[in-house]
Amino acid sequence: MKVVVTGAAGQIAYSLVPFLCEEGIFNSPKKIDLNLVEIPQAMERLDGFVKELEDSAYSTINSISTFDNIQDAVIDADWCLLVGSIPRGIVLNGKEIKERSDLLKINGGIFTEQGSAIGKNAKPSCKILVVGNPANTNALIGKINSKIDSQLWMAMTMLDALRAKAQLAHKLNCHVDEIYRLAVFGNHSPTMFPDLENTFVDGKSAYESINNHDWVENEFLPRVQQRGAEIIKARGASSASSAARAACETVKAVEHPTRSGDVFNAAVMSDGAYGIPEGIFSGFPLISDGRGSIEIVRDYSLSDFAKTGLKRTADELVAERNLVKDLI
């Protein structure tokens, strides 16, 4: 089992790689060959991390290798977790990067090269999770440049779903495990649409249990949509431990069958489901059979409020696609 992580000397990877090395994540008895990728300037920092991973003596690991080029790192890869890229909140050329979309031109180029390398060198069955922002459009750039259909490209919206579950559990005074069918549609950006109208807690509609549309629209939605910015403001750096856990949860969700009656969240290439235009990466409710096949769940009923939210986030994704026309 070959697993590639880019941005491996960064803050997300520092939590993510140990999570991935725990037993059972990949639902496979095979040991892991871990390929860690960084830019040349960060290789020394990466070597320090590798020493710590060696000292952790994971029983799941067969080998750990480091790379400063993507082409060799992804040869025969089963999984690629594409974290390497610039986060927002930092100052570049005297200007603070405020929105994830401001990263399009800076990070987009990384994904042309990585997409093409994965298409040529990784396994035809390779699964790819894009974490680096703007994740949805980076995934689109990567997939188009891979020029191969059999690989599964996803962008991470699991963190948004976990954030929404945490807020809902707090509101309804329930445990996060009691929440079913919570879906986050659209972009990993302030336009994302976490839907509560199809969410169930203890067999009952979460929306009806809350019985307060004003809270849903004016407290819950903005809180989840702006959580990334809230964390940057408080920490002085973008979320890392929670992002790492969400990435690991996405791998687990793909590699294990989805629990009965539930969904998991990731952004995949739209085929027109729920009126989201084809050919953009949008968050959808998904199920996995645990044997490599994932599907969009198509039975959510959308109110006019939800339809307006989905249109707004889809419009933003189409606009992002137009901005990277030269890369796809």
Q: Give the footprint of ligand LMR on this chain (CB under 6 A).
A: 87-88, 100, 133, 159, 228-229, 231-232, 238-239
**Within 13 Å of residue 141, how many CA atoms lie on the same side as its CB?**
28
Establish if 195 lies at the interface with ligand NAD (CB under 6 A): no
**C-beta of residue 85 within 8 angstroms of C-beta of residue 7:** yes
β-bridge pairing 281-288 and 264-269: antiparallel
Residues 214, 113: Cα–Cα separation, whole Å: 45
Establish if 232 lies at the interface with ligand NAD (CB under 6 A): no
Is 322 strand, coil or helix?
helix
Residue type for 120, please? K
- Considering only 87, 119, 194, 283, the residue that binds ligand NAD (CB under 6 A) is 87
User: Residue 220 CB, nearest distance to ligand LMR (Å)?
Assistant: 16
Known catalytic residue at 170: no
Per-residue contact flags (x/-) with ligand NAD for residues 66 to 85, judged by CB under 6 A: -----------------xxx
Candidates 1-9, 166-174, 282-290, 295-303 — which segment interacts with ligand NAD by CB under 6 A? 1-9
Tabulate helix, strand, coil % of the chain (nearest 5): 45, 20, 35
The kind and range of the H/E element at 233 are helix 227-235
User: Residue 124 CB, nearest distance to ligand LMR (Å)?
Assistant: 30
User: Residue 28 CB, nearest distance to ligand LMR (Å)?
Assistant: 29
**C-beta of residue 305 within 8 angstroms of C-beta of residue 312:** no
Establish if 39 lies at the interface with ligand NAD (CB under 6 A): yes
Query: Residue 115 binds which entry of ligand LMR, ligand NAD, none, with Cβ cut-offs from 5 to 8 Å by kind?
Result: none
Catalytic residue among 175, 188, 213, 256: 188
Active site residues: 188
